Amino acid sequence: MHSSNRSSSTSSPIVGVYVGSETMTLSEVRNHSRIRKLVEANKEAGTTLFFFTTKDVDFSKKQFTGAYFDDKEKRWLKRSFPLPDVVYIRGGGGHGETAELLEKFDRLGIKRINPIHAFNKSELYHHLYQVENVRPHLPITLNVENKSEMKNAILKLGKTYVKACRGRKGLQVMRVTKLPNKTGYLYSYSIIEKLVRRKANNMDSLHKTIKAFFGDKKVIVQKAIDLVKIKNNRLVDFRAEVQRNKNSEIDIVGVCARVGRPNSPITTHSAAYRYDVYLPKLFPRYTAKQLNVLKKNIKDFLHKVYLGVEKAYGTFGEMGIDFAVDNKGKLWLIECNAQSAKVSIAKAYGSKARRIYLNPLEYAKMIANGNDNQSSNQSSQGSGNSRSSYSDNSSHSSRSSYRSIQGS
């Protein structure tokens, strides 16, 4: 097990922020806006905060070279430090050097903000389908291995999304719609912020396009949700930023309505607005009471999803949850993100989103001091450290406090 090598002069836990496998210069670190925001939040959190890549770690010496901001000199520096007490993953893909590095950290007993750094969409769906109060919010999702299974899935579901099991930022998503009277299939996807919309005359042509787009990646086919839309056929979905605070209470920091571009199959790289402001525009016929019920349902839904994920994987310090509201007001889970880029909340909430950077650092202090029952693999209950000042009639027994960004 890892034991801290901190000197007596270092009174705060070492939090190492992993920013990827490629070396970053001090200039690159300094110019990264989200890194600067973490540094600013750390003035209150008071951790020993460093930023590092795979290349910066020396396991033989049990140390790493970290970039840090020297508050006295008011400049960025690099120096060697003992291996961190807590690792905060803010970069790197799902495999390769990043996965190997994290496995080594796990073997040393070094804790993480999140027990995993990337979700497999198929695996996550399987786990959440076992959670009774989450299952009604899951769109039909099918694993496909070949052209025959792909054809059957699309014929069965009609309007669908084909998604890579591992993919982020909407880069591995294709919308496919079966056209009437056997006239073919309409497909669309976004790449480098460019919308591609085309027609395939038959399944052979469509399957070749899908293979070219996804390569060897494993994919799922998911029934498309009847999302609410605004003018110019712009889809609207939601991103919630949910975290645990310094007391390990669930904190819904912010919920953003994301408005896609005209005809785009996804809302990534979209405009974002505070959901409490935007819901009346989406549901203009709702009374104030109906809107309040919807907002309460959203909070309850986020709570159930968060605890459902934890039941399968272990305790999370933070999670981005993408969801949709259909035309009837029903809530649907789209996907969960273990590494939210926090782009939408910055667009929607501006400076009021500061807590999104403070919570992970304060949570890191809490788990570094052993005031948790976090497991790097899987917790038996998933919500064993959840506390609450909120109660409702949902079927979970854990209780967690709800805080809204409006009140911060």
pLDDT per residue over 59-88, tens digit each?
999 999 999 999 999 999 999 999 999 999
Assigned CATH for 14-112: 3.40.50
- Residues 288, 264 contacting (CB under 8 angstroms): no
Res 134: pLDDT: 98
Q: Is the pLDDT of residue 388 over 60?
A: no
CATH dotted code for 229-407:
3.30.470.20
Q: How high does pLDDT run on average in the chain? A: 85
How far, in Å, CA of 75 to CA of 72, rounded?
8
Where, residue-wise, is CATH 3.40.50 in the chain?
14-112
Statement: residue 238 has pLDDT above 80 = yes
Block residue for tokens 């210069």: 25
Decide: helix, strand or coil at residue 289: helix
Predicted confidence at residue 125, as pLDDT, reads 97
More confident residue, 371 or 317: 317
- For the chain, how many residues are written? 408
Q: What is the DSSP letter of 326?
A: B
C-alpha span between 73 and 138 (Å, rounded): 52
CATH 3.30.470.20 residue spans of the chain: 229-407
Number of neighbouring beta carbons within 10 Å of residue 65: 15
Helix (H) or strand (E) holding 174: strand 173-178
Predicted model pTM? 0.86
Using CA atoms, how far apart are residues 364 and 248, in angstroms rounded to an integer? 10
- The encoded tokens of residue 248 equal 């390990």
**CB count, 10 Å around CB of 169?**
13
Note the pLDDT of residue 407: 35
Separation CA 283–CA 279 (nearest Å): 6
Q: Which helix (H) or strand (E) holds 208?
A: helix 203-214
| Residue that wins the pLDDT comparison between 181 and 377 | 181
Q: What average pLDDT does this structure show over 140-168? A: 91
Distance of alpha carbon 30 from alpha carbon 35, whole angstroms: 7
- Percent over 70 (pLDDT), the chain: 84
Query: Is the CB of residue 358 less than 8 Å from the CB of residue 109?
Result: no
Q: Which residue has the higher pLDDT, 9 or 183?
A: 183
- pLDDT at residue 95 above 70? no
Other beta carbons less than 10 A from residue 16's beta carbon: 27
**Region(s) of the chain under CATH 3.30.1490:** 140-223
Q: Supply the pLDDT for residue 97.
A: 84
What's the pLDDT score for residue 42?
97
Of the candidates 331, 328, 314, the residue with the CA atom closest to the CA atom of residue 374: 314
pLDDT for 17-69, tens place per residue? 999 888 888 999 999 999 999 999 999 999 999 999 999 999 999 999 999 99
Share of residues in the chain with pLDDT > 90 (%): 67
Whole-angstrom Cα Rg for the chain: 22
The answer to whether the CB of 320 falls within 8 A of the CB of 312 is no
Check if CATH label 3.30.1490 holds for domain 140-223.
yes
What is the arithmetic mean of pLDDT over 320-326?
A: 95
Q: What is the pLDDT of residue 243?
A: 98
pLDDT value, residue 169: 56
Q: How confident is the model at residue 263 (pLDDT cuts 50, 70, 90)?
A: low
Instruction: State which H helix or E strand residue 169 sits in.
Output: none
Spatial separation of the C-alpha atoms in residues 379 and 28, rounded to whole Å: 37
